[in-house]
Amino acid sequence: MTRISDDLLIDSYSKAVEMKLCPKFITLLEQEIRLRSLKLACELPNDVKKSPSTF
């Protein structure tokens, strides 16, 4: 993922969840958040894998 600021990444994730955007996009953001070891106000689920039926 092209480097964006941590704050923008967290804001983007929060908005994506709020707006119920594509689960694949949300998963991509979750993976990047974990990669950077960032903390959210509410923690990410332990398993960021989504079942194929949710895509």
pTM: 0.71
Q: What is the pLDDT of residue 43?
A: 65
Residue of higher predicted confidence among 55 and 45: 45
Tokens 């969840």 found at: 17
- CB distance 27 to 55 below 8 Å: no
Condensed to tens digits (0 to 9), the pLDDT of residues 5-25 reads: 999 999 999 999 999 999 999
For the chain, domain boundaries:
1-39
Query: Quick one: pLDDT at residue 2?
Result: 67
Dist CA 31 CA 20 (whole Å): 17
- Tens of pLDDT along 22-46? 999 999 999 999 999 998 876 666 6
- Contact between 20 and 50 under an 8 Å Cβ cutoff? The reply is no
Determine contact, residues 44/34, Cβ cutoff 8 Å: yes
Q: Which CATH class is domain 1-39?
A: mainly alpha
